[in-house]
Amino acid sequence: MPAMISPGCAKPASNTPDTEELPKYTVTRRVGFSPAQLFAVVADVGSYKEFLPLVERSTVRDRRVLEAGRERFSADLLIGYQKMGIQEVFASDVETHSAEHTVRAVSTGNAVKRLVSSWVITPASKQSSDIAFTVDYEMKSAMLQMVMGTLFSSAAQKIMSAFEARARKLYGT
């Protein structure tokens, strides 16, 4: 099924700031994996360096198991774009909920005031799931905000494709 971009956003979680004024991109796909399989891929932030484009390092720290299948941890992603000589570290507060198949991250970086991403995975049939990836962001520079606005839709599609490819590698087609 081709990806769809919707203007809406999943309801913010308790660790997500109010993002009503931020640009929002949601990419939704139906894929042939169970919610548990997809959740395992998305929640494994430590392995992002193995499959996400431009991620050079992914580190998880301060992992805390909460009640009812919830977990909270801090993570750092080093993003690099060698052609432009760009390297940026994003520090994130991440909350996962295995029973609800959701992952939410609130991130900051040098160029970013905040970046809020959420994954919501729901069963679609016995053999497939719908996965929705929503990103809300605010750049520190108005110029960079404009540039990112033109690129973000494509970037969100590539990120979704990378997670889908990772699931295929781990679980087959």
Residue 19 pLDDT more than 50? no
Token output for 170:
């781990």
**Nearest-10 crossing angle of helices 142-171, 35-43:** 130
Q: Which pLDDT belongs to residue 72?
A: 97
Percent of the chain surpassing pLDDT 70: 79
Per-residue model confidence as pLDDT tens digits over 56-78:
999 999 999 998 899 999 999 88
Per-residue model confidence as pLDDT tens digits over 148-166:
666 677 888 889 999 999 9
Residue 111 pLDDT more than 90? no
Higher per-residue pLDDT: 116 or 24: 116
pLDDT band at residue 18 using 50, 70 and 90 as cut-offs: very low
Per-residue model confidence as pLDDT tens digits over 93-110:
999 999 999 999 998 877
DSSP codes of every residue in 100-122: TTEEEEEEE-SSEEEEEEEEEEE
| 5 beta partners | 27
- Decide if 93 contacts 74 (C-beta within 8 A): yes
Q: Which pLDDT belongs to residue 23?
A: 60
**Cα 172 from chain centroid (whole Å):** 22
pTM score of the predicted model? 0.80
Count of beta carbons in the 10 Å neighbourhood of residue 57: 13
Query: Parallel, antiparallel, or unpaired: how do β-strands 112-125 and 128-139 relate?
Result: antiparallel
Compute the Cα dihedral for 150, 152, 155, 157 and give only its sign.
negative
The DSSP secondary-structure symbol of 10 reads: P
Alpha-carbon distances, residue 57 vs 17, 64, 151, 154 (angstroms): 26, 21, 22, 22
Q: Which domains are assigned to the chain?
A: 24-171 (3.30.530.20)
